[in-house]
Structure formats: structure tokens, C-alpha cells
Amino acid sequence: MPKIYSVEKRQEIVNQLMMVGLELIRQNGIKKMSIHELTKRVGIAQGTFYNFFNSKEMLVYALADSYQQSIKDKLEEIIQTKGYLERNDLRELYNCMFLKDEHNVYRFLTREDLQNLSTRLPSDCLYKMTDIKTTMETNLRHVREKKEPYDLDAVINWLQLMNLTIQNKDILVETGIEKIILQLIENMLDELF
């Protein structure tokens, strides 16, 4: 008989699964993250994992969705405080996202991971994880002193180049990655401002 958890206990377990899952992804990648190791560290039975997530890919989706919400919250906080976004706000945001933020699951996904996710996640989840255009259009409504017109497709391509750089870091010279990301951020910002 399955164990019955209170709403609070369920949320606590979900939070623990996500925290430990992200830690395991950072250490070993998605492919080597095992449900056995994850549940062992959280202190639940292996089969209990499936009461919370249908698969480890859905856990990754939950991590991505949670991260995207945290970025949205950061941007909304800046907008509420200042009333707008400026070049430096976006510079700091993308610098943190691509180079520093240990909660950004996207920083730890490889091209192979993304390929596997694309075949194993439901299409609506995959779309939500990869829909950069809608997110960028929403954010740009609040940017002050941007160029008019600016090329949204070019801005998205600069972002995708940053994503590709991070996803392919295993074939790049590691000591040059930060410099490349910072330059790509400035190129994207030059397209906007």
C-alpha cells in the first residue's frame, strides 16, 4: 500500500528531489543521474519517486520550469522597483544565468541531454522549456531606451549562441568560455540598444 503524505510533506519531498536532482545533474549530468541514487539521498523508496514525477525527464522539466519562474520573478522585481529594464539589468541577468547561477539547470545540460529530452518529454513541456521568443518578447516590453526597430530574431540568435556555447563546452577551450559568453551578451545588447 502506498504511503500517504500530507500536502506539506509532499511539497517537502518534491523540493528535496529537485534540490538533490539538480546537484546530481551538476555532478554527473542527466544520463548518469540515477533514480536509485536520488531517492537514496532524499530518504525515500525508489518506487516512491514516481508518486512525484513520471520520469527523471519530468524532474528536469520541473527544475527548468522553476528556474524560468525565478528569472521571471527577478525581472518583475526590477520592473516593480525601477519601472523598466536597462541594458545593465539585462547584462547582469544573462551574465548570472550563463556563467554563475548554480540553480540554472540549463547550464548543465549537454546537447545529448537536450536531444533525449526532446524525445522523452511531452511536446507541451518541451515547448515551454524552449520557447525563447515569447519570453524575450515579454521581457523586451519593459526595456527602456531600446533601438527601434531592433531585430528580435537576431537577439534570439545571440541567446541561442550562448546556449550552444554552454551546451558544447566539452569541445571548447574551457578558459575561453567566459570571455565568449560575455562578448555574446554584449553583441546581443548592441542589437537592442
The pLDDT, as a whole number, for residue 110 is 87
pTM: 0.89
Mean pLDDT calculated for residue range 64-83: 95
Q: E strands of 2-61, at which residues?
A: none
Domain boundaries, the chain: 1-53, 56-192
Whether residue 33 contacts residue 26, with contact meaning beta carbons closer than 8 Å, is answered with no
Mean pLDDT calculated for residue range 144-172: 93
C-alpha cell at 39: 531517492
For the four alpha carbons of 118, 172, 135 and 94, in that order, the dihedral sign comes to: positive
pLDDT tens, residue by residue, 96-140:
999 999 999 999 998 889 899 999 999 999 888 888 899 899 889
Fill in the amino acid letter for 44.
Answer: I
Averaged confidence pLDDT in the chain = 94
Residues 157 and 150: their CA atoms lie apart, in Å, by 13
The pLDDT, as a whole number, for residue 2 is 61
Question: 4 pLDDT band (50/70/90 cuts)?
Answer: confident
Number of H helices, E strands in the chain: 9, 0
Residues 98 and 39: their CA atoms lie apart, in Å, by 29
Q: Which CATH class is domain 1-53?
A: mainly alpha
Mean pLDDT calculated for residue range 143-152: 94
pLDDT tens, residue by residue, 47-67:
999 999 999 999 999 999 999
Residues 101 and 175: their CA atoms lie apart, in Å, by 18
